[in-house]
């Protein structure tokens, strides 16, 4: 405990010694096989190739022959066939279309030019005696940095030192808590109005992005393995995210019910309590799509069981709720209780499904169920086994699973497994030191693919706490154990925006705050924000005050309900944005800088966000606050509530009492808005609201399908583009012939 007192800052020799590093040196030899340049260095080996005219892969291993393997993050990675390779005395050149990469021989460095302009420069690669590798690239001191996954702090990560090691952090979540549950070693270096370069360091060891120590340089590092990078040279942030998600995949279109309002608590402890919660939603006529079952549903926290006393008839409960339009999502953690009479444990042992030390002995650690074993999700056969175990839930009507504690979290000093536990990637053994950051990703894969197989032609919902780059292909992400602190409401915005810029379009924070006690005002303000974020779940810890919509008083409930209802009105628009995210990788929630990449004023805006391109949300983030300054990017905006017209390229002081969250829509937008519904299972008619654009056209889009199956992939959808001229002529263009719920005749026009 002494480290929590002044003892922690005992006098030291300030500065200390700088970490000693060694350069990889000169390029000693090079081979070009028509696709890949491979070479040896004074220390180690490297390769380089181009994936297209926007992306290059460059990998250096100072200690061994560098392998072409990438992690599970990568789904597409093929060198182009027709790049040109040439050589001069001092350099090698690799060219494809308008991309030219130059490798300097004397001291390895790489420069990438697009259209004759230098877009990226790796000026050095080095290592230390502990096998840590470093890469240094040039960056102007002021150029902002975004992405980097789920990090605390503000939007722009320039000037920070970030490391990635999946960690279960109950407390604290603040600027100094750099390592949280997810590791996404992908940064966007955005030069406003010029280019955006994406740097993806695909290495699952603990990695680092140091934007602090060196002026005009960023140093990336990995505590083992190669410096394996994908460099994406984009025109702007969107273009670079598109590039990144061609490599790591996009967020698949979720089932629509997963975008509705979700209610959770650690835990609703019995069937009766779950029924009471559902009944309260019905009684107060508050829309609801889903209730969660946290760990108390299990028999002594054994996954794939129900506690006979608390949940004697889970089948009936789930069936009954499903019939009322409510999905049930149970939590599933990776720890399997060590109990020789528990079939999951027995099977895991006898089939060698658990993670083991190199001598074959099973690693055990303590989690909720006590001493537990941990599936080795790195093996395909373990993924299959685990996936199929979910039949226990799906046969009862479950279509969604919540994965938690999958960093993996273990209740010990290191907070996780021993680093010398081994994982078997279908034949290739890696240590936990290397595999740690991938554990959650592999578990998400097992869950998602298992559900997909068990519930045919149904899009599963899977939610995960831990993950690595590429996690978006399998799961939505929530930001873990936040608190009912206003600061955490505020911090959730840049966190979710940066997750989006790291490929994860489907994310959210526990509404109301997980730990600590919520207040009526905080619940209102947080629900207002949650209503506009991709994932919308209210969740709270045991022993904290209850924070269901009705928990405080009638007034609070009335306002909370109003915003849950508003969420449902926005679902058609939100769902259309998810369709776009699946197609292009561009996230649902975007920072202003993404849509206005040249606007320097937008660089640091963390407390406003855009839902899609045209809806801007500027929440109240402090108790008692009813006024705030809002930045409006160029153009004209409309106040969602009053219809008032607002000039952009300016700050305005905006008023919003507790009944209101400031929301603005860009002039020229045609917004699809749904009718009030009880949940997404009810048929919802969609109408259009057009926001006038002077004498220019107004435009909008609506994507529709059956909300649940994969039939949309066979063409059963309808994508309607609407163009409305200033004199009232409407043109619609439809792709696909799925029956639409859009009522085009009933259009409301805001503004002149
Ligand atoms: C972890 C999760 C939290 C959950 C709790 C009990 O703290 O982050 O959401 O409620 O475990 O399962």
pLDDT tens readout for residues 371-385: 999 999 999 999 999
Q: Whose structure tokens read 């009053």?
A: 642
Torsion sign over Cα 254, 259, 262, 267: positive
**Quick check: is 130 catalytic?**
no
Kindly list the strands in the beta sheet with 742-750, ordered across the sheet, starting from the edge strand earlier in the chain: 670-674, 686-691, 742-750
Stretch (H or E) spanning 123:
strand 117-127
DSSP E strands in 568-662: the ranges are 589-590, 609-611, 615-617, 627-632, 636-639, 645-647, 650-655
**Quick check: is 404 catalytic?**
yes
- Domains annotated on the chain, with CATH: 21-248 (2.60.40.1760)
In this prediction, residue 14 carries a pLDDT of 65
Which residue has a Cα nearest atom 5 of ligand 1? Answer: 266
Query: pTM value?
Result: 0.98
In this prediction, residue 379 carries a pLDDT of 98
CA distance linking residue 677 with residue 569, whole number of Å: 8
| Mean pLDDT for the stretch of residues 462-474 | 99
Q: Alpha carbon of 561 to those of 278, 346, 530, 634: distances in Å?
A: 15, 47, 12, 33
Which among 168, 327, 407, 521 is annotated as catalytic?
407
* CB distance 266 to ligand 1 below 6 Å: yes
Kindly report the backbone phi and psi dihedral angles of residue 583, in degrees, each rounded to the nearest multiple of 5, phi listed first: -70, -40
Can you say how many angstroms the Cα of residue 183 is from the centroid of all Cα atoms in its chain? 10
| Mean pLDDT for the stretch of residues 157-173 | 97
> What confidence tens digit (pLDDT) does each residue in 199-256 have?
999 999 999 999 999 989 999 999 999 999 999 999 999 999 999 999 999 999 999 9
> What confidence tens digit (pLDDT) does each residue in 507-552 have?
999 999 999 999 999 999 999 999 999 999 999 999 999 999 999 9
Burial class from Cβ neighbours inside 10 Å (0-12, 13-18, 19+) for residue 675 reads middle
User: 290: CA distance to ligand 1 center in Å?
Assistant: 17
In this prediction, residue 19 carries a pLDDT of 77
In this prediction, residue 17 carries a pLDDT of 61
User: What DSSP line would sit under 228-290, residue for residue?
Assistant: EEEEEEESSHHHHHHHHHHHH-PPPPPPGGGGS-EE--TT--SHHHHHHHHHHHHHTT----E
* CB distance 402 to ligand 1 below 6 Å: no
Q: Are strands 537-538 and 262-263 parallel, antiparallel or unpaired?
A: parallel
* CB distance 480 to ligand 1 below 6 Å: yes
| Mean pLDDT for the stretch of residues 566-571 | 98
| Mean pLDDT for the stretch of residues 124-128 | 97
CA distance linking residue 205 with residue 433, whole number of Å: 6
**Quick check: is 239 catalytic?**
no
Q: pLDDT band at residue 752, thresholds of 50, 70 and 90?
A: confident
| Mean pLDDT for the stretch of residues 463-492 | 98
In this prediction, residue 500 carries a pLDDT of 98
> What confidence tens digit (pLDDT) does each residue in 518-527 have?
999 999 999 9
> What confidence tens digit (pLDDT) does each residue in 307-346 have?
999 999 999 999 999 999 999 999 999 999 999 999 999 9
| Mean pLDDT for the stretch of residues 586-597 | 98
Radius of gyration of the chain (CA): 26
* CB distance 333 to ligand 1 below 6 Å: no
In this prediction, residue 271 carries a pLDDT of 98
Percentage of the chain surpassing pLDDT 70?
99
In this prediction, residue 16 carries a pLDDT of 58
* CB distance 481 to ligand 1 below 6 Å: yes
Q: Are strands 84-87 and 55-61 parallel, antiparallel or unpaired?
A: unpaired
């Amino acid at each position: 405990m002494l480290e929590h007192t002044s003892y922690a800052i005992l006098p030291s020799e300030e500065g200390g010694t700088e970490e000693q590093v060694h350069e990889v040196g000169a390029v000693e030899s090079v081979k070009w096989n028509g696709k890949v340049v491979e070479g040896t260095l004074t220390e180690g080996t490297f390769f380089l190739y181009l994936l297209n005219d926007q992306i290059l892969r460059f990998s250096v291993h100072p200690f061994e022959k560098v392998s072409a393997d990438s992690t599970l993050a990568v789904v597409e990675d093929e060198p182009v066939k027709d790049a040109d390779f040439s050589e001069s005395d001092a350099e090698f050149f690799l060219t494809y279309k308008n991309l030219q990469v130059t490798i300097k021989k004397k001291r390895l460095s790489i420069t990438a030019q697009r259209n004759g302009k230098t877009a990226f420069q790796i000026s050095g690669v080095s290592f230390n005696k502990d096998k840590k590798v470093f890469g240094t690239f040039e960056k102007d001191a002021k150029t902002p940095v975004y992405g980097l996954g789920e990090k605390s702090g503000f939007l722009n990560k320039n000037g920070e030192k970030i490391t990635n090691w999946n960690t279960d952090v109950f407390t604290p979540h603040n600027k100094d808590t750099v390592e949280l549950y997810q590791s996404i070693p992908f940064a966007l270096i955005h030069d406003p109005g010029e280019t955006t370069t994406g740097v993806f360091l695909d290495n699952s060891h603990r990695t680092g992005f140091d934007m602090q120590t060196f002026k005009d340089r960023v140093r990336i590092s990995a505590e083992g393995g190669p410096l394996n990078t994908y460099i994406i040279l984009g025109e702007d942030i969107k273009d670079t995210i598109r590039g990144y998600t061609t490599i790591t995949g996009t967020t698949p279109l979720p089932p629509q019910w997963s975008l509705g309002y979700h209610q959770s608590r650690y835990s609703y402890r019995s069937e009766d309590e779950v029924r009471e919660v559902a009944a309260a939603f019905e009684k107060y006529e508050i829309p609801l799509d889903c209730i969660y079952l946290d760990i108390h549903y299990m028999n002594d926290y054994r996954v794939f069981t129900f506690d006979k006393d608390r949940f004697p008839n889970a089948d009936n409960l789930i069936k009954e709720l499903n019939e009322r339009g409510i999905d049930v999502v149970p939590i599933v953690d990776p720890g399997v209780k060590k109990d020789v009479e528990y079939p999951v444990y027995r099977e895991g042992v006898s089939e060698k499904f658990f993670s083991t030390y190199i001598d074959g002995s099973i690693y055990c650690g303590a989690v909720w169920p006590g001493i537990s074993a941990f599936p080795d999700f790195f093996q395909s056969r373990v993924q299959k086994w685990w996936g199929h175990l979910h039949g226990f839930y799906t046969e009862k009507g479950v279509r969604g699973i919540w994965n938690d504690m999958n960093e993996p979290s273990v209740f010990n000093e290191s907070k996780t497994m021993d680093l010398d536990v081994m994982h078997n990637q279908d034949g290739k053994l890696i240590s936990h030191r290397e595999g740690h950051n991938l554990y959650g990703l592999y578990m998400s894969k097992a869950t998602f693919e298992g559900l997909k197989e068990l519930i045919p032609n149904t899009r599963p919902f899977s939610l995960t706490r831990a993950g690595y780059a590429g996690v978006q292909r399998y799961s939505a992400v929530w930001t873990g154990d936040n608190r009912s602190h206003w600061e955490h409401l505020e911090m959730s915005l840049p966190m979710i925006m940066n997750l989006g810029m790291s490929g994860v379009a489907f994310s959210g924070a526990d509404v109301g705050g997980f730990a600590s006690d919520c207040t009526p005002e905080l619940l209102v303000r947080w629900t207002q924000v949650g209503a506009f974020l991709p994932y919308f779940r209210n969740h709270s810890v045991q022993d904290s005050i209850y924070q269901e919509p009705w928990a405080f008083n009638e007034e609070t409930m009335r306002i909370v309900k109003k915003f849950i209802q508003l969420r449902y009105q926005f679902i058609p628009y939100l769902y259309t944005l998810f369709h776009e995210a699946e197609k292009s990788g561009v996230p649902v929630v975007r920072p202003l800088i993404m849509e206005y990449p040249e606007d320097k004023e937008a660089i640091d805006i963390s407390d406003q966000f855009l839902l899609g391109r045209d809806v801007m949300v500027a929440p109240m983030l402090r108790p008692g606050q009813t006024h705030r300054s809002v930045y409006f990017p160029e153009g004209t905006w409309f106040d969602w509530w009053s219809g008032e017209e607002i000039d952009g390229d300016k700050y305005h002081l905006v008023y919003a009492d507790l009944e209101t969250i400031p929301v603005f829509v860009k002039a020229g937008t045609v917004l699809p808005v749904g009718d009030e519904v009880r949940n997404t299972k009810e048929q919802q008619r969609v109408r259009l609201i057009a926001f006038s654009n002077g004498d220019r056209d107004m435009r909008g889009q609506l994507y529709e399908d059956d909300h649940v199956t994969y039939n949309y992939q066979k063409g059963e959808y309808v994508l309607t583009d609407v163009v409305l001229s200033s004199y009232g002529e409407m043109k619609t263009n439809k792709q696909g012939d799925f029956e639409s719920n859009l009522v085009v005749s009933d259009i409301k026009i805001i503004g002149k």
